[in-house]
Structure 1
Amino acid sequence: MIYPSNFEQKIGFQQIREMLSDACLSPLGRRFVERVHFLDRFDLVQRLLQQADEFAHILRSGEDFPSSYYFDVSEHLNRASLEGAFLEVRGVFEIKMSLRAIRQALGFFVESEENAYPALKALTKDVEVDRQLVAALEKLVDDNGNVKEDASPELQRVKRDLIGQQTALRKTINSILRHAKNEGWTPGDAEPTVRGGRLVIPVIAEFKRRIKGLIHDESATGQTVYLEPESVFELNNDIKDLENAYHRELIRLLTAVTNQVRHHLPSLKRAYQFLALLDFIRAKAVLANRIGALMPTLHKRPLLKWKDARHPILHLTLQAQGKKAVPLSLELDQEQRILLISGPNAGGKSVAMKTVGLLQYMLQCGLLIPVAENSEAGLFEDVFLDMGDEQSIENDLSTYSSHLQNMKQFQLFAGKKSLVLIDEFGTGTEPALGGAIAEAVLGQLHQQQVFGVITTHYTNLKNFAEKNTGIVNGAMRYNPAQLQPLYQLEIGKPGSSFALEIARKIGLPKNIIDKAGTLVGKEKIRYDKLLEQLEQEKTDLEALNATVAKQERKLKKAVEEYTALKQHLEESKQDIIRTAKGQAKLLLKDANQQIESTIEQIKRSQADKEQTKVARQELDTFREKLTPEPKPVFKKANGSVKTGPLQIGERVALIGQDSVGELLAIKGKTAEVSFGGLKTIVKLEKLERPDPTMVKEKAKKEKEFQVAQNQTKGLDVTQRMADFVHTIDVRGKYAEDALTTIMNFMDDAIMLGMPEVKIIHGRGNGILKQVIRDYVRTLREVASVSDEAVERGGDGASVIVLK
């Protein structure tokens, strides 16, 4: 049971229904949208949700599922069911294209993995499309809805003769018109036109006797008549006969194909029911992806266990403004059945209640809902709503009377599997009595074990919730310091209305606020102050926790960077030591060999002075090679040595490195240096003034690089790849011109490394297609050449896959 009768309008589901309807591709799906209603059968709801979830996955994955030609052909099928009737060309075209969409959808599920999309695959059972019927439809009309010239030999012959006669007629009448223009009998801009199905020429009325023929019409002013020259009578008659013959043959073909359609009507109706369901389910999936909806874990019993639930309409509205809706998380089960939400006005209480009602209603209508992963939901048998002003002149009901009428319905019909939604519970009458009646009604609903979400300002209801198990308080968070709502639902404590604080903020005189505080009583003030203090302490604690968490993240990052740097230094140290040891071994080996060689040379010469001198000189030369050269002292232009500390703006280099950079800043023992536009921080002691020759050499290389870059500026391969169009159209060109164009096109495609290109050459007599394909197959870089898909041009285009 859904109460009241205008539930959908009050809760906002009517807008959801409109969005669903807009997402449909055809009236087929819209008819299902109109029939959407609340369901309480577990197996049915689960199946509908599963279908929508699977289709949403298809859309998100970008798989090639047919989304065109969802035609509603009910009118055509009804016409075809009548004996002796025949379909129009438009009907044949729409049936053909929609059957193609159905076949593609069936093929999609056949080709998908065995366990993929089980709920959608179940819809394909008993859905068949006869191949011979599709072939007959394909033979009669093309993909643009035009009758094919070769639909039958007779139709082809008549069409050929008709074109020939029309060409002869056009030539003859153009000749007559030129002569008439030269004689001044027709207006200067006159052209042949059609009147009564016959080709005529416009003639100035005063010259109508100059040309023999039949007048078919005249202009509104009477100054021009439309005349059929006598010399074209026979041609016009022949054309009329051929048109009649063409029409007779077309009707024969249409009648034959209509008879085939009539024979398959039962299977066609099942197929179009399948197409309508696909359109409807697709619309549900489109809406789900738009609002970020998914399928929660479903239970047979009443249950709400939602994480980060969002009101879909509010979500889309704020999203359009570049904002985000604040999600709410809540849980209703057997131990916690009724949630009592309190808090200030405009704090989000009503939105929270509406969100619960709308999402639960959507769920039990088979729609996915915008909640986070791991959310759970159950099914209710009834949903009751009391919201807004229902004052009725016709029924002589005041606002409060209408609320009481609703309470009466809740008492009579609500039960253990009912969800009750009440907004601003108890308002509309004297506060003390209204609060008392609301508390009594709440107690009765609690005894009936209903589930519910109720919003209120009454303190006695908050106290009632604290004292009774099964009812839990909830508060809409508020910033007491700034007096601004946070739109966050916190379960477990009541909320304050902050009435006096808000009055103080908007500037109500202090004496009025103090008087109001006196009137309301110290206990109420103390209660609200306590709630306000708790809210402020919670806000401060959250801010503190956020700061601590931020510092912890920074500290964690610093520790990770330190650990990584330490590990890098250790690894570098070990590498340097290993390298140094290896070089030292080689150096020692070379030194020992040189010493042994010198001793051997001295021995062989028996310590001859000259030989010993030469040997020692060789040893000294070897030693000099091993001794590192002292660093050169660089002089300034005036000859003096540049000494002293490094200055900002100087050219500097890392000790032992060739890279030269600019010193940007000095901070204590560290410096900021720019190497080639890349800024880095290094220790000051690691920097030195570079060799001037090194600076000149680097400047020279940079200049050479800039020149080379300028020379290659015209060859911007990235830009060419961005500008490259993967499809080329050569229809209407001569074979020689088309081949030249294709050669250049394929050269660019191969050079830029394109994986696939398409050439549109049309059908015609097939010569252009053959010339192009013969050339393309000679290219070593071509992997395959094939026809385009039927719905995108078929054999009128070639798809070339490159290696």
Structure 2
Amino acid sequence: MNQKVLKTLEYYKIIDRLTDCAASEPGKKMCRELTPSSNFNEIVQTQTETADAVTRVRQKGSLSLAGVRDVRDSLKRLEIGSSLSIMELLSVSGLLTCAARAKNYGRHPENMELPDDSLDEMFRTLEPLTNVNSEITRCILGEDEIADDASPGLHHVRRQMKITADKVHTQLNSILNSSRTMLQDAVITMRDGRYCLPVRAEYKSQFAGMVHDQSATGSTLFIEPMAIIKLNNELRELELKEQKEIEMILAALSTELVPYIEPITTDFEILTKLDFIFAKAALSRIYNCSMPKFNRKGYIHIKDGRHPLLDPKKVVPINIWMGRDFDLLIVTGPNTGGKTVSLKTVGLFTLMGQSGLQIPAFDGSELSVFDEVFADIGDEQSIEQSLSTFSAHMTNIVKILNQADSRSLCLFDELCAGTDPTEGAALAISILSFLHNMKCRTMATTHYSELKVFALSTPGVENACCEFNVETLRPTYKLLIGIPGKSNAFAISRQLGLPDYIIDDAKTHLESNDEAFEDLLANLEQSRVTIEKEREEIASYKEEISRLKKNIEQKEERLDERKEKLLKNANEEAQRILREAKETADQTIRNINKLAASSGVGKELEAERTKLREKLDKVDKSLSLKNNKGPKKTISPKKLKIGDGVKVLTMNLKGTVSTLPNAKGDLYVQMGILRSLVNIKDLELLDEASVSGPGLDPAALKRNNTGSGKIKMAKSFSVSPEVNLIGMTTDEAMPVLDKYLDDAYLAHLPQVRVVHGRGTGALRAAVHKHLKKLKYVKEFRLGEFGEGDTGVTIVTFK
């Protein structure tokens, strides 16, 4: 890609921002060297890597690679047998630490089986060399500090140095205290690596020792007392031994790295590339970018593209497409309307995409791979344009025409401006016709009306304009493809205060064809604005209708639910009343039978009783909830057992059998806290797997489908809503309470009563202490008036 277009389209400003996103210096260097590629497969690969890095950052956060340093020179020294310095070893250690961090970052969660992405192989190839790195970090504590236990020899030498230094300080303190008058200050100093005392000059002859230095004024001499010269010599010898031990440690660490030169080199290359890829991902997140699709056919379709160098709060997204129905786009309109920005957006997006960078546009945007991008973009905002400016642009255009082909993208800003308008327009048409015939994808901005006519009359060429609001004299920066732009010079001049008579006189100098053409453009623009407004109103109406329709449907659903609930409650209440009436009638008839046994009217009473029973059964059937589907299979009373799971069809509830059916087929079914008398014909037998309580796994129930399992399920569903602990000791009550609470929780009871009585309060305290330990207990409280007061505790489950 030619360097001129990279500078013209401000590609290097994007590279500067990319470089800031990299964490390591090698990564930054790789960012600075990034240039667009024209290899389709390479572009797709780099785009995929960037997209995968964006996905990982979104899922796991950023990957920090700040510790990556270029250690290749150090590795070359290892190859020839040299020992590395402390700083070099720390650089290698930092690299290996980053490799370990990156390898851990690259692992997928164990509970998720995800397909490999384009970065997985790089993460797997990393070798953190944990044992070697741990040894380096154990021995080297800092840039100038080796650990005492790095080797036995170093530990012994430093121990001797400490003992000798303590002796020196003891001697010096003794001399300092006995010769206080001779000293300038009561301090111990060091000169040339040896301990000294600051002695006044006049006491030089009286103070035995070796002079090492004196003050600027000469009033103070720094003398090493004769008594500690030997100790200082010993300390100096120990320091030399210490240095030799450190050199031996560094040599040993360097030798340990020699077998791993190749893995360390590979780690450096991979980490540098990862830093570069994740810098591209960071840039993508900053500009809210998306991955474009690529093709080799010259198709460009940018959806809601935003130029990345403009203020994101002010930039207006633009939609641009070309290359499919037309390969030449001519953009017209007034200055400062956004023509040049549109031109640069297309060119910069192409360069960014072919560099593996995502573009700040909506998902699904499409770019083509070009071998070359050419741009002639000048600044026509100045009042004067000299011949030299036109010549400079024409020189650049000539170079472009000599190199452009069907695999090129050409961008021209104000093509052939700065010369005679008639000749400039003619030249511009010829240049664009040449490029159009070569099937070169071209986008040009212009003020020439002749180019608008050229676009309208030439197949494969399309007009576009940047919308401009004449009333406010402000551009909207919207690019409208298919509509030629109007210069609006007269309208802008009128708004700025130019007298009407001057504007009217100017209109007389226009040729009739030009005036008619400009009026046509004005009418087209007015029609477009009107249609756009009507389209927005229609869309608003559709949205409002959709919202109202949704609200009505929701209201109807709520009404249906409420209706069903009311009917269900009414039927249940009617059935309850009917059952009570039947029981009362039966009891009354039995009493009458006893009294009338001797009077001989038993047969008549029994007949009346039968009529009453038939009438009540008829009413019961009319009040029963209708179920469209009957039981899938009739249940035999002989096969039904206590604890079997059943579904009550009229209530649409699941429960367990509490009692066996009587002669009439009636039996009690426990449904949570509800225990109801139902007929066997209203039941449907369930599989064991479908009967489950809170916190139970149906699969586990299926696996444990044994006799003991059925007994446990039966007990959990038939548990009483209260337990009585009165009369028990604390030791006796706790196992009973624990067993009862387990059964109640499995039965899905919302709350239960624990009756412990008042007494001394010991049993109540033990109950409360036990309840605090249970994770499935949400809260508990003493009973209120009517519930048993302080003799009862109400327990609520989670």
If the TM-score is normalised by the length of the shorter chain, which range does it land in? Answer: 0.5 to 0.7
Structure 2: which 5+ runs fail to align? 381-385, 597-772, 775-798
Q: CA 1:167/1:49 → structure 2, altered by over 3 Å: closer, same or farther? A: farther
Partner of 1:36: 34
Distance 1:367 1:584 in 2: 73
Spell out, residue by residue over 1:504-527, the C-alpha distance to the aligned partner (whole angstroms, 9 max, x if none).
222223333223222234443443
- CA contact 1:300–1:379 (8 Å) conserved in 2: yes
Deviation larger for 155-164 or 509-518: 509-518
Q: CA 1:211/1:28 → structure 2, altered by over 3 Å: closer, same or farther? A: same
Deviation, 1:408, is: 1.6
Distance 1:171 1:454 in 2: 89
What pairs with 1:273-672 in structure 2 (closer than 5 Å)? 273-314=269-310, 318-319=311-312, 323-388=313-378, 398-580=388-570, 582-583=572-573, 586=576
Tell me if 1:14 matches 2:12. Answer: yes
Partner of 1:684: none
Partner of 2:687: none
2:88 pairs, out of 86, 91, 116, with 91
Q: CA 1:591/1:454 → structure 2, altered by over 3 Å: closer, same or farther? A: same
Deviation, 1:69, is: 1.1
2:254 pairs, out of 244, 255, 258, with 258
Deviation, 1:153, is: 0.9
Instruction: Specify the code of the residue in structure 2 equivalent to 1:88.
Output: S
What pairs with 1:10-89 in structure 2 (closer than 5 Å)? 10-62=8-60, 65-83=63-81, 85-89=82-86
Q: Normalised by the size of structure 1, how large is the TM-score?
A: 0.66
Deviation, 1:593, is: 8.4
Distance 1:270 1:604 in 2: 104
- CA contact 2:209–2:223 (8 Å) conserved in 1: yes
What pairs with 1:196-211 in structure 2 (closer than 5 Å)? 196-206=192-202, 211=207
- CA contact 1:301–1:380 (8 Å) conserved in 2: no
Deviation, 1:142, is: 4.0
Q: CA 1:65/1:604 → structure 2, altered by over 3 Å: closer, same or farther? A: same
SS where residue 43 of structure 2 aligns? helix
Instruction: Specify the code of the residue in structure 2 equivalent to 1:425.
Output: L
Deviation, 1:435, is: 0.9
Partner of 2:743: none
Instruction: Specify the code of the residue in structure 1 equivalent to 2:70.
Output: D
SS where residue 554 of structure 2 aligns? helix
SS where residue 119 of structure 2 aligns? helix
- CA contact 2:414–2:446 (8 Å) conserved in 1: yes
Distance 2:187 2:538 in 1: 86
SS where residue 6 of structure 1 aligns? helix
- CA contact 1:477–1:535 (8 Å) conserved in 2: no
Tell me if 1:220 matches 2:216. Answer: yes
Instruction: Specify the code of the residue in structure 2 equivalent to 1:155.
Output: L
Instruction: Specify the code of the residue in structure 2 equivalent to 1:508.
Output: L
- CA contact 1:389–1:399 (8 Å) conserved in 2: no
SS where residue 398 of structure 1 aligns? helix
Deviation larger for 563-572 or 36-45: 563-572
SS where residue 146 of structure 2 aligns? coil
Instruction: Specify the code of the residue in structure 1 equivalent to 2:86.
Output: V
SS where residue 83 of structure 2 aligns? coil
Spell out, residue by residue over 1:490-514, the C-alpha distance to the aligned partner (whole angstroms, 9 max, x if none).
2111111222222222222333322
Q: CA 1:168/1:531 → structure 2, altered by over 3 Å: closer, same or farther? A: farther
Spell out, residue by residue over 1:61-117, the C-alpha distance to the aligned partner (whole angstroms, 9 max, x if none).
22574523112224433444454x422111111111212322443455466788755
Tell me if 1:160 matches 2:150. Answer: no
Instruction: Specify the code of the residue in structure 2 equivalent to 1:31.
Output: K
SS where residue 199 of structure 1 aligns? strand
Deviation, 1:440, is: 1.2
Tell me if 1:247 matches 2:243. Answer: yes
Distance 2:389 2:414 in 1: 12
Q: CA 1:544/1:101 → structure 2, altered by over 3 Å: closer, same or farther? A: same
Deviation, 1:558, is: 3.6
Distance 1:280 1:174 in 2: 60
- CA contact 1:479–1:536 (8 Å) conserved in 2: no
Deviation, 1:561, is: 2.9
Instruction: Specify the code of the residue in structure 1 equivalent to 2:60.
Output: G
Distance 1:397 1:121 in 2: 59
Instruction: Specify the code of the residue in structure 2 equivalent to 1:158.
Output: V
Q: CA 1:444/1:212 → structure 2, altered by over 3 Å: closer, same or farther? A: same
Partner of 1:237: 233
Deviation, 1:400, is: 0.6
Distance 2:255 2:567 in 1: 93
Structure 1: which 5+ runs fail to align? 391-395, 607-779, 782-803
Partner of 1:631: none
Percentage of pairs with the same residue: 30
Q: Normalised by the size of structure 2, how large is the TM-score?
A: 0.67
Distance 2:84 2:321 in 1: 58
Distance 2:488 2:46 in 1: 45
Q: CA 1:543/1:233 → structure 2, altered by over 3 Å: closer, same or farther? A: farther
Distance 1:203 1:235 in 2: 20
Deviation larger for 459-468 or 215-224: 215-224
Partner of 1:685: none
Q: CA 1:33/1:573 → structure 2, altered by over 3 Å: closer, same or farther? A: closer
Deviation, 1:209, is: 5.8
Q: CA 1:164/1:501 → structure 2, altered by over 3 Å: closer, same or farther? A: farther
Q: CA 1:196/1:304 → structure 2, altered by over 3 Å: closer, same or farther? A: same
Deviation, 1:339, is: 1.4
SS where residue 150 of structure 1 aligns? helix
Q: CA 1:281/1:510 → structure 2, altered by over 3 Å: closer, same or farther? A: same
